[in-house]
Amino acid sequence: MPQKVEKPVIVQSDRSILLEVDNPLYEEARDALSAFAELVKSPEHYHTYRITPISLWNSAAAGYSASQVIELLNKYSRYEVPNNIITEITETIRRYGRLKLYKSPQAELILESDDPFLLTELMCSKSLANFGFVKLDSRRILIKSEFRGALKCALVKMGFPVEDLAGYVEGAPLHFELRTKLPNGKTFTLRKYQQEAVDAFYAGGSARGGSGVVVLPCGAGKTIVGIGVMRKLQTHTLVLTTNTVALRQWKQELLEKTTLTEDQIGEYSGEVKEIKPVTLATYQILTYRKTKDSSFMHFRLFEDGAWGLIIYDEVHLLPAPVFKITADLQAKRRLGLTATLVREDGKEDEVFSLIGPKKCDIPWKVLEKQGWIAEAVCTEVRIPIMDEDRYKYIVASRASKFQIASMNPIKISICKQIVEAHKDDNILIIGQYLDQLKVFQKVFNAPIITGQTPVRKREELYGKFKKGEIKLLIVSKVANFAIDLPDANVAIQVSGTFGSRQEEAQRLGRILRPKASGKQAHFYSIVTRDTIEQDYALKRQLFLTEQGYQYKVIFMDQLADYLSELT
C-alpha cells in the first residue's frame, strides 16, 4: 500500500507560511503560494512566505477571490489553517474593488462604492480634504482627473486600494513587427514565460490590463517583455532607463529584434534631446534641475509626446520626482520592469498605486532550472582586520567604520587568489569606493569604469569585454543596473552600499545570463570579519538566500583549498 504523502505547507497564525522543499508537492505548492504570498526567505529545507495586504491585493487584481486563496491553502496545508488567517484573507481581499474608478462622460472621474458608509467616511476624512470631492449620490463621488494617481496612493495607505477601471488614452499609433530572424542568422521568438508576462500585462485589452509590474530575474529578458508589450499595443512609447548605456542597449535590442528603424527611435539624454515615436530617456535627465529649488527642466517630455505607453525600467529605482509625475500620468498605460520589488525606502505600496499591481513574478531558481539563467555559486570570504587599522576602526564613527572595513588592504591579496583561480573566466571586480577601485586598477593593470568614465569609453570597454578582448573589468556601482555582459561568469564584490539587498540582486544579475560555454557562474563577496561590514553583509545576502541560493561562508585560511576544489 503506497505511503501517504504529507502536505508541504504549514500556515501559522502570524501570517507566515512554511513550505517544505523536500516534498513531492513542493513545486505545485510553490506555484500556488506565489499567487498570493510574498517569499521572505528560501534556505535549503523550508521556505518562508508571508501574507501581506499588498500580496493579497495583487492576487485580487489578478482575479483571485478570497475563497480561491483559502481553498489553495487548505489544499496544501498539513494542518488546519488558523481561523484568524482565513478571516484576514477574506477581509483584506474584500477591500480590493470596494472602491472603483470610472471615467465620466465629461472625462472626469467617478469614485464608486457599493458601501455608502465607506464613501461618507472618505468624504469626512481630513487627509482627503484637498481632493475636492463632489458627492453625486450615496454611491458615487466626482473627482477631477488630475487627482487620479494621488488619490489612489492616499487610499492604499488607508487600506482601501482602488480598482482603476477608468481606461487609458490610446496614444499615437505606431505599427511595427517582431523579427523572426535576427541579423546574426538566429531565429527569434518570445520565450513561453516572456509571452505569458506580456499577456498578463495586456489582460486581453480589458480595463483590468494596461498597468502593472513584471518581476523577472536579471538575464531573463525583461527588455524583451517590454518590446513584446510595445508590439501588442502598437503605440508611441516612452522608455525610462537608469543610465545612457542602458538606454542605448534598449535601442540596440529594438533595432535588432523589431522592424523599427533608426528614424523612429529617439534618445533623450544628457547628450541628445530627440523626441520620436519611441523615445528612450534616463531618470537622471528627467530629475535634472539647475538648483535645488528650481523646476525640473525636462518633465515636459511626458507631455511633448503622444505616448500610449510608458515603460519604467528598473522600476524599483524610480526616483521620488518621477514618482510625483507618475501620479499625474494615470491616463497612460504603464509597465514597470524589475528583478526585485524590494525598495530600501519601503515604498512598494506606491509602486502598486502609481505603476500598477504585480502582473508576473517568476522565481529565479525556476528559470535557472529551465536553463534560462545561469546556475550560480555564492561565496563569502571573511578576512581579519589588520592590526594597524584596528585602533582606527574602534574610535571611528559608524559610517567611517564601514569604510575602513570595506577598504581592508587584505582584500587585494584575496582578490589575486580568486582571479588566478579563474584566469580563463570573464571577471568583474565590483566596488563602492573609487579610491579602492583605483588601487585594484593598478594592481591588476585592468581597465576601470566609474561614474566619471565618459559614456563612449564605457561602451567601448563593455564591447571589448563582450568580444573577449578584455577578461577582467573593474566597475563601480554604475555597472549595477541594466548592463548586458552575457559572458561575465565571475563577480568579485570588494565593497557595497551598506546592507542593500537591491544592490546584491543587481550585482549577482551581472553574471546570470546563460553562458554559451555552459560555465557555472561564481559570485564572491570579500568581507572584513567581526566588523560592521559583516553585519551589513548578512543583510545583503538575505535577498540571495530568499531566492534559494546557497551562500557559502569561508575564512581566509580556507580559500586556497576551496579554490583548488573548484579547478
The full 3-state SS of 39-54, as one line of letters, equals EEECCCCEEEEECCHH
Helices 53-61 and 83-95 cross at an angle (nearest 10°) of: 60
Strand duo 99-103 + 162-164: pairing:
parallel
* Calpha distance 156→98 (Å, rounded): 12
Tell which wins on pLDDT, 498 or 153. Answer: 153
Percent residues over pLDDT 70 in the chain: 90
Confidence of residue 506 (pLDDT cuts 50, 70, 90): low
Look at residue 363 and tell me whether its pLDDT is greater than 90. no
Q: What is the pLDDT of residue 499?
A: 47
Quick one: which of 164, 168, 163, 225 has its CA closest to 194? 225
Q: What is the pLDDT of residue 106?
A: 73
Q: Which helix (H) or strand (E) covers residue 164, if one does? A: strand 162-164
Q: What is the pLDDT of residue 483?
A: 59
Look at residue 44 and tell me whether its pLDDT is greater than 90. no
- The letter for the amino acid at 288 is Y
Look at residue 407 and tell me whether its pLDDT is greater than 90. yes
Residue pair 458/483 in contact (Cβ under 8 Å)? The answer is no
Task: Write phi, then psi, for 221 (nearest 5 degrees).
Answer: 95, 45
- How confident is the model over 236-273, as pLDDT tens digits? 999 999 888 889 889 999 999 999 999 999 999 888 88
Q: What is the pLDDT of residue 501?
A: 56
Look at residue 156 and tell me whether its pLDDT is greater than 70. yes
Tell me the domains of the chain and their CATH numbers: 9-95 (no CATH), 99-164 (3.30.780), 192-362 (3.40.50.300), 369-566 (3.40.50.300)
For the ranges 80-84, 154-158, 439-443, the lowest mean pLDDT is seen at 154-158
Task: Write phi, then psi, for 316 (nearest 5 degrees).
Answer: -65, -15
Strand duo 358-361 + 211-215: pairing:
parallel
Residue pair 431/507 in contact (Cβ under 8 Å)? The answer is no
Residue pair 109/131 in contact (Cβ under 8 Å)? The answer is no
Averaged pLDDT, 119-125: 90
Residue pair 510/376 in contact (Cβ under 8 Å)? The answer is no
**CA quadruple 309, 314, 316, 320: dihedral, nearest 10:** -70
Averaged pLDDT, 151-173: 88
Look at residue 545 and tell me whether its pLDDT is greater than 90. no
Question: For the chain, how are helix, strand and coil distributed in percent, rounded to 5?
Answer: 40, 20, 40
Confidence of residue 557 (pLDDT cuts 50, 70, 90): very high
Averaged pLDDT, 331-336: 90
User: How far apart, in Å, are the Cα atoms of 278 and each of 193, 265, 288, 470?
Assistant: 25, 5, 21, 33
Q: Give the cell for residue 301.
A: 517630455
Averaged pLDDT, 528-535: 88
Q: Residue 351: left if φ>0, alpha if ψ -120 to 50, beta else—which one?
A: alpha
For the ranges 19-33, 66-80, 112-126, 469-483, the lowest mean pLDDT is seen at 469-483
Residue pair 477/406 in contact (Cβ under 8 Å)? The answer is no
Q: What is the pLDDT of residue 292?
A: 75
Strand duo 521-528 + 490-493: pairing:
parallel
Q: What is the pLDDT of residue 86?
A: 96
End-to-end CA distance of the chain: 47
Residue pair 30/19 in contact (Cβ under 8 Å)? The answer is yes
Averaged pLDDT, 344-357: 77
Residue pair 326/350 in contact (Cβ under 8 Å)? The answer is no
Q: What is the pLDDT of residue 332?
A: 87
Q: What is the pLDDT of residue 312?
A: 92
Look at residue 49 and tell me whether its pLDDT is greater than 50. yes
Averaged pLDDT, 447-474: 87
β-bridge mates for residue 267, sequence order: 280
Confidence of residue 1 (pLDDT cuts 50, 70, 90): very low
* Calpha distance 183→501 (Å, rounded): 38
Assign 358 to helix, strand or coil. strand
- Return the beta strands (E) in 331-451 as ranges: 333-338, 358-361, 376-383, 427-430, 448-449
Residue pair 187/180 in contact (Cβ under 8 Å)? The answer is yes
The answer for residues whose C-beta is within 8 angstroms of residue 333's C-beta and 6 or more apart is 168, 171, 210, 211, 233, 235, 308, 309, 310
- The letter for the amino acid at 244 is T
Residue pair 450/438 in contact (Cβ under 8 Å)? The answer is no
β-bridge mates for residue 99, sequence order: 162
Averaged pLDDT, 121-133: 88
β-bridge mates for residue 313, sequence order: 337
Look at residue 355 and tell me whether its pLDDT is greater than 50. yes
- Summary mean pLDDT of the chain: 85
* Calpha distance 123→23 (Å, rounded): 51
Helices 148-157 and 320-327 cross at an angle (nearest 10°) of: 110
Look at residue 15 and tell me whether its pLDDT is greater than 80. yes
User: How far apart, in Å, are the Cα atoms of 66 and each of 56, 115, 357?
Assistant: 9, 19, 17
Q: Give the cell for residue 191.
A: 520565450
Please, is 68 exposed, middle or buried when counting C-beta atoms within 10 Å of its C-beta (0-12, 13-18, 19+)? middle
Residue burial 453-488, b: 16+ Cβ < 10 Å; e: rest: beeeebeebbeebeeeebbbbbbbbbbbbbbbbbbb
Residue pair 211/200 in contact (Cβ under 8 Å)? The answer is no
Q: What is the pLDDT of residue 260?
A: 96
